[in-house]
Structure formats: structure tokens, C-alpha cells
Structure 1
Amino acid sequence: MTAPYVKTTTENQIQTIEFFHPAHNSLPSDILAQLAQAITDAGNDDATKVIILKSGGERTFCAGASFKELIAVNDAKTGEIFFSGFANVINAMRKCPKFILGRVQGKTVGGGVGIASATDYCFATKFASIKLSELNIGIGPFVVGPAVERKLGLTGMSQIAINANEFYTPQWAKDNGLFAEVYDSTEEMDAGIKAFAENLCTYNPDAMAEMKKMFWTGCENWDQLLFERAKISGRLVLSEFTKETLKRFR
């Protein structure tokens, strides 16, 4: 099995950040920390005009939080620190002065939906169904909720958060504002992303940076809000309900 990684490549002013984990691209703390740092570094890189965020493999974009790490949480502070990893990634994406293009090749769950929602323009395939499954294990999409709500609106976010058993189709995600484009194949999606990113590189980077600030206006309190939400998740993951549910994933 391939070891987990976060890697970056740059070509023609386009920096691609790729993360991978053999457990369906789930996100343990170390991968979250590396991802947040890579996004911050790309934002500070004068040679980069556009960022593409993708995951490795051909099937699942992101399975969300690492169940192995969730099962190991035994105190509220550890839980808070773990969920803060998602807060750090989302805030890094929010503050990054470059447009971040998402590449969602397959199903995405929980925290993965949050990361897709924090991209500035998201491409997907017809296999990229989404699900907010947190309620199933006794918690909720507290940390990623603001990012998801920003894209889907409160109605859309609450719909998929409450109906935590169901995958919603890529077309539903497109109709509700999460995905900008949905393609029949990964090859077509990659061609579309490449052309789109190359075109963005012809634009004024200062204008794009100012536009990004405008698009994220009203989210300035997320430095505090997302970490307050991480405390809620950190507390709930210790509940008897959640501990019993997580035993099934051992």
C-alpha cells in the first residue's frame, strides 16, 4: 500500500497540491497539518498564480476524518486538537490569496465535503457524490459547516447534514452551488481544469487576490468560530453514543 502523503508540483505558474491516504483518502492529524502548510506556502509563493487541490487515487476524493484517530480520542482536548486540523485547513484556504480550484474525482464524505466547499471553484465527475455523515456517529459537521453553508446555503447544508445516511448526487451538488462543472470522466475533468487554470494565469494576480478577499467577506470570524466548533466535536466524540458507534469501525 502507498504511504500517506501531501505533495506539491508546479508547472507554468499552476501549483498542484495532492493529498493521499490508503484509507480512502481519510485525513489524520499529520496529513491535515501538512495540507494546511502546503496551502499557506503556495499562497505565499510569488511563482504561483493558481492552485489546484486534488487527492490521489481514482475513486474516493476524501473519506473525511480518520476513524482510526477518532477511535483513539480519550479526552476532550485531544478531540478538540484533532478537529482543529480541519479548521486550520479551511482557514488556510480562506486566507490564501490565490484561487484554489478543486478536483473531486469521486465520492466525498464529511470533512471532505468541507474541503471541497472551501475551494474557490470546484470541478467534479459524475461519480462525485457527497455525504455529511457526522450525525451517524453522534457528532455533527460543526467545523466544516460554515464552509459548506457558504456554498450550499443554510437549507442545502442542513438538508444533507440531517439526512446523514444519503449520498447526494453530483448534479444536486452542482445545482446547489458546490460544484461548478461536472464531467463524465476524470480525463475530461482534468482537461477542463488544465484549460481553466491556464486561462486564469493570464489574468492580473492582484485583481484575483482582491476578488478572493471580496468572495470571502463576512468569514473573518472563522479564526475563532471554527475552533469553537472543534471544541463541540471534541466533546461529543467522547459521548457514550459515539464511542459505542465507533466500536463498529475497529
Structure 2
Amino acid sequence: MNIDLIIENKIAIITINRPESLNALNRQTLQEISVALSEAEKNLSARVIVITGGGEKSFVAGADIKEFADYNTKEGTKMARDGQANVFDKIENLRKPVIAAINGFALGGGLELALACHIRYASENAKLGFPEAALGLIPGYGGTQRLPKIVGKGLANELIFSSKMISAQKAKEIGLVNEIFPLSELMDKTKELANTIAKNSPLAITEAIAAINASDTEQGFEKEINAFGMLFESEDKKEGVTAFLAKRKPNFN
């Protein structure tokens, strides 16, 4: 097994654990991540999902180059299509929020994994980048699509064309990560955020994820309006408003 999944205090923590290869993504690891995501989504006690890397050096140092070195066009296309459908798009559209705790190198597919998450926290020693152009490739797990939406087209072009790595501090400056912390504090700070999110309405958060994901489509405003209206008849809305009026904290099931 290359993946560890634990659930504690309403938080599901998925740890990618291949320290000998800096947690690089091979087919087996991607399949295990997909299974872990499904388990965490179905588990009623888990409100928030955290993805991190094992050890203190790497979140995910990219895809496993040795595995695809001899691929042809058909195999490369299938690799990208399957990976996006089973892991990267799956994360982005999950019904529960996913936080990346980037504890070191996040390169290539590792950065794409972080980009697919809804929120990104990083350690101060993190290094982020897309080395694909130096290999004669481009990002294939959604990097060319998600990065421009987060940092803008110009910066996305620079990072992808140059293959250079940037520091956690630079990533914070350009909005690529939300916050940075000392490595020793990263998981505690990530869990702190996850616990704050977990106190809110899970149904409202699910609808917010879908509406935000539709924000760059023509249906975005309509998606928001319909979700907003639908929530008025939900038990979560009734509990939230009742608790507010009673000046107590809500208790969402």
C-alpha cells in the first residue's frame, strides 16, 4: 500500500507514502488515492479531507517518470485521461472540501494534485513547479487549465514554459497557496482550518463547491441561484437559522 487513510475528529487524512521515490505518482498510487477519496467521501464521520505526503521532504515530487518513459501517444493520452477522471477531476468535484498540506516538493503531477484541491497550505520549505517542458512534455493532469485560473495566464505561462521551481513564499505571493507555515506547524494549522470548516453546514459546503466550480461557465450564476433557493428548505438551513436566533452554536448532523 502506498496510501494511508485515517479519520479523526471529522477529518480524513490521506497520506501518500512512497518516501523512497519522494511520493511520486505511479499507476498503483493513483488508483489507491482514488479509492481513498471514495472511502472518505462516503464516510459520514468525515467532513473535510486533507491530502499530504509522507516524510518531511516531499508532498509529491511528480509522476513516476520510469513508468511512462517508453509510452507512445495512445498510452500517454490514456494516462492523462484516466488520471484526470479518477483522481484530479474527482478531487475538484468531490462533495467534501479537500485541503492540500504541501510538506515539501510539489512538482509536476504533485503540483497538479495540489491545484485540484480546494485549498492549499504549504510548509516554508516547499518547492513548487512544472518541470514537464524540460522533459519534452506539458502538464497532463490539468495543470495548464487550473494554474491560469489561480495565478493568471502570464504567471502560468512563465512557470510552465521555464520549468523553474518557486519557493513557498513566492507561491503565497502569487496566490498559488493560501498560507505558509513552518513544517512543524503545517499539519496542526491544516487541521485547525479543517475543524473550522467541519463546524459549518456540510450541505451548504457541498453546494458552494459546485457553484464555485461553475464560476467560469455561463451557468455559474444560475447554479448559485438554484443552490441558494434549494437550501432554504434544508434541515441544515433550519438548524443554522434557529441556532443563530437562539444565540447558540449550530449542530449540523
Question: What TM-score do the two structures reach when normalised by structure 1?
Answer: 0.80
Match 1:190 to one of 187, 192, 211: 187
| 1:147 matched residue in structure 2 | 146
Q: How far 1:219 moved relative to its partner?
A: 7.1
| 2:172 matched residue in structure 1 | 174
| 1:50 matched residue in structure 2 | 48
Aligned-partner SS, 1:168: strand
Aligned-partner SS, 1:61: strand
User: Is the 8 Å Cα contact of residues 86 and 111 (structure 1) preserved in structure 2?
Assistant: no
Q: Unaligned regions of 5+ residues in structure 1, if any?
A: 221-250
Distance 1:171 1:85 in 2: 33
The amino acid across from 1:201 in the alignment is A
Q: Unaligned regions of 5+ residues in structure 2, if any?
A: 218-253
Match 2:74 to one of 74, 77, 96: 77
Change (3 A) 1:19 1:71: same
Aligned-partner SS, 1:27: coil
| 2:39 matched residue in structure 1 | 41
The amino acid across from 2:166 in the alignment is Y
Aligned-partner SS, 2:12: strand
The amino acid across from 2:145 in the alignment is P
Distance 1:123 1:209 in 2: 21
Change (3 A) 1:203 1:49: same
| 2:214 matched residue in structure 1 | 217
Q: Deviation digits for residues 13-54 of structure 1, max 9, x if unmatched? A: 111111122211110111112112221332232221000111
User: Is the 8 Å Cα contact of residues 113 and 148 (structure 1) preserved in structure 2?
Assistant: no
| 1:91 matched residue in structure 2 | 89
Match 1:62 to one of 60, 63, 68: 60
Q: Deviation digits for residues 174-212 of structure 1, max 9, x if unmatched? A: 1222211101x2221122112111111111111111111
User: Is the 8 Å Cα contact of residues 11 and 191 (structure 2) preserved in structure 1?
Assistant: no
Aligned-partner SS, 1:179: coil
Larger radius of gyration: 2
Question: What TM-score do the two structures reach when normalised by structure 2?
Answer: 0.79
- Give percent identity, aligned residues only: 23
